[in-house]
Structure 1
């Protein structure tokens, strides 16, 4: 989701009252959600969400900040603090019995944009159900003392849990931190916390839009950390839909531990890249597994030589697959654009030298597409050279061919391309995006793309039956997340929604979500 970064607008602040009648309405909502949770079997033991650093309504805190008295931020003109229960989205939090963290060791932050002014960023008080604007996204910095809350002192209320109450919010994210609060993280802005080794806190998130066309999405395009599921009534089917990972964290970690190890000397399709991006706290506890596309140069290893070797393996991960199978000379094939519902067919033809792919809109290959050609997305080994000693470090994650050689592994995994040159179109055009994602999934070499490229059973199969080879490598990070995801749905790449395989859910007029965490 994109956060705006335009000008800042402020006026004098006001404190927000909590009408007495509203407590009863919330309590009724909690009871209804508790019954709903029981009906779908999400478990019995639940925890109550209460104010974190600020005692609210007499409930003790202990949040991720200083624990001072409540300080409410300034308001912005037309800000809606209390929009009424009819416009609220409620999120019931469910934790298993004998959960690894006490309630006072779990923290939440809800951040996003004002739906009436998308240039205005802010945070949500999920206890009162109020949005607090702070200014532009560019100026935002998290203040854990006022903007985060703890899941505190178990309060059953007849076996039911208090909920997150979220007013209309645009492009929002809900963050959960475990063991330590957000104040233990490096300072961060609207883009969210750091994912690297500089952030020792175990945390995760999901995306939530509660304004027009309400929807949520689990996203692991940057990292995977905590197993949880979200359920809601799907606006399209009027049936309850559950997405996410209904598994023990230890089982998912064990699967990542079991990724086959490639020959250390193999430069292409080397699975060692998936072993290198494990981030742990000082006590040795694994905090997250990074997606290779997210990794900074420093995340690839302990010294420059190790980092360079592993980062080069990622940028060249798909080289043999692309060169020998996808851009094979004189190849012809057909496929759909990224929006499967459109069923628009494109036709591709590779040049005799295997360096250029031409795109057409007709089966006779006579009508060029608006993006007439795409270059072969690979480079010779060692390029781009971003070694700290002899190369140009600015070429790490480069997508602009006018600057230098492109980091193709980074670009193909869904990162923004340039406006011109060889890096253009890959992150903006529907045909180019479909090609890039089909490379990542290991199906782009199949000529019957209107059948094979859209079949999840063929994704991440390597040379067949899951055999991982340098010529037909498996992107294990995505393969495992989809394998563990309900209905094989996950969001492991920036464009994992191509052909409708992502776990986004539109819940419309039934704004009651249930988030259930797996055993840690």
Structure 2
């Protein structure tokens, strides 16, 4: 099945700063005069592949609120109406650079933006009555299943540019993102270590418990991607009880111990206290009043940071849930009753953990990744931001 573009964009939804910026997109800003309506995006093809590259810039107009796409000049085009069954979307592809070359296009101010790029074939997008339908390659019948592609997520608004490299849904064609600041300096993230791309797949295959089943290949043997563990549960690659042992141990521990959550780094005095009673983890504030409660989560809730670990955009449940989600995925809840634990050396030390995220982080040049939706807890996400961006970068990296 296709998946609607209106769904939560996991990695950028995970970034609290990005969400705040999107909310203030049309409000006054000291940076507003400095951020033009479009900025250059330089795409460099260091992949070493001879395939033609196709680029897409999609998102929501901050002016009209419409979903649409941008052409190479940065002009925004709203999608036409869809139907049931979905109909083909207009061809929004932009020819990308050949191997060893670069191409600079323009990107407009968009919220929830995505920069897709594919090798060899154009992606298939369709329009349903609810909006754009995007690839859902966990489904073997999806028309994009055998296309090698990936995407970056971004928001550009009056407060600047946020752009990431994301592995929340899948690990695939390697790339990095960057931004040039007003002083000419460039900051980037997303590059793998030498041998890191092949190393991710090799280590997943060697990890017992079905983790190698996350890998999808074409019939010709070309490795296309590794699905995130949440999708691994959907496809049956991972067993439904893959995290049960750790989750049960956490629930047992905090029946007799208090879990202290300090969700805001800039507000160390704001703390919440969790204890399990009757199978439910109740959080109280400093006055002892219960502010929110969580049923014992399952693996889909942990990997997806949703369902039983839903994180609304509020100031209490959402921040607590984000912290729990990070602690479960990184397996720090048993070793540290004060969360979040922001020390990377403490992550993924339990045998029961998010091995997908662990393996990716280990192979990133700067250790940063979006291995799960709230990987920004403690600032371990592969995201760059600047309030006065002069240029954005997407670099297609070697498959090695």
TM-score interval w.r.t. the shorter chain?
0.7 to 0.9
Pair 1:134–1:411, CA change in 2 (3 A): same
Q: CA deviation at 1:87?
A: 2.6
Pair 1:320–1:138, CA change in 2 (3 A): farther
Alignment match, 1:412: 302
Distance, in Å, in 1 between the alignment partners of 2:331 and 2:282 is 20
Aligned 8 A contact 1:227 1:247 in 2: no
Alignment match, 2:189: 243
Matched, 1:319 2:269: no
Structure 1 unaligned runs (5+)?
Answer: 6-84, 263-270, 301-309, 378-407, 418-422, 463-467
Among 172, 195, 198, the residue aligned to 2:137: 195
Q: CA deviation at 1:99?
A: 1.0
Alignment match, 2:276: 350
Structure 2 unaligned runs (5+)?
Answer: 8-34
Alignment match, 2:13: none
Alignment match, 1:502: 381
Matched, 1:368 2:310: no
Matches within 5 A, 1:438-517: 438-450=327-339, 453-462=341-350, 468=351, 473-517=352-396
Give the secondary structure class of the aligned counterpart of 2:381. Answer: coil
Distance, in Å, in 1 between the alignment partners of 2:364 and 2:206 is 24
Matched, 1:113 2:60: yes
Aligned 8 A contact 1:121 1:136 in 2: no
**Structure with higher strand content:** 2
Pair 1:510–1:210, CA change in 2 (3 A): same
Give the secondary structure class of the aligned counterpart of 2:369. Answer: coil
Alignment coverage as a number of residue pairs:
355
Distance, in Å, in 1 between the alignment partners of 2:83 and 2:126 is 17
Summarize deviations over 1:327-369 as a string: whole Å, max 9, x none.
32312232222x4333322222233x6x23232223xxx6123
TM-score by length of 2: 0.78
Among 33, 50, 66, the residue aligned to 1:101: 50
Q: CA deviation at 1:414?
A: 2.8
Give the secondary structure class of the aligned counterpart of 1:92. Answer: strand
Task: Answer with 1 or 2: which has the greater Rg.
Answer: 1
Alignment match, 1:207: 153
Summarize deviations over 1:252-283 as a string: whole Å, max 9, x none.
23333234857xxxxxxxx4232111111121
Alignment match, 1:87: 37
Q: CA deviation at 1:490?
A: 0.9
Give the secondary structure class of the aligned counterpart of 1:347. Answer: strand
Distance, in Å, in 2 between the alignment partners of 1:342 and 1:191 is 40
Q: CA deviation at 1:445?
A: 1.3
Aligned 8 A contact 1:482 1:488 in 2: yes
RMSD (CA atoms): 3.2
Among 73, 94, 105, the residue aligned to 1:164: 105
Moved more, 105-114 or 502-511: 502-511
Alignment match, 1:280: 217
Distance, in Å, in 1 between the alignment partners of 2:245 and 2:233 is 24
Aligned 8 A contact 1:438 1:444 in 2: yes
Among 322, 329, 351, the residue aligned to 1:433: 322
Distance, in Å, in 2 between the alignment partners of 1:346 and 1:478 is 27
Q: CA deviation at 1:231?
A: 1.5
Distance, in Å, in 2 between the alignment partners of 1:291 and 1:440 is 12
Pair 1:142–1:498, CA change in 2 (3 A): farther
Aligned 8 A contact 1:335 1:453 in 2: no
Pair 1:346–1:416, CA change in 2 (3 A): same
Aligned 8 A contact 2:43 2:104 in 1: yes
Q: CA deviation at 1:518?
A: 1.6
Aligned 8 A contact 2:342 2:378 in 1: yes
Summarize deviations over 1:219-264 as a string: whole Å, max 9, x none.
21100101111121468x995321102345x6423333234857xx
Aligned 8 A contact 1:326 1:445 in 2: no
Which has the bigger relative contact order, CA under 8 A and spacing at least 6?
Answer: 2
Among 89, 98, 116, the residue aligned to 1:143: 89
Give the secondary structure class of the aligned counterpart of 1:272. Answer: coil
Matches within 5 A, 1:44-55: none
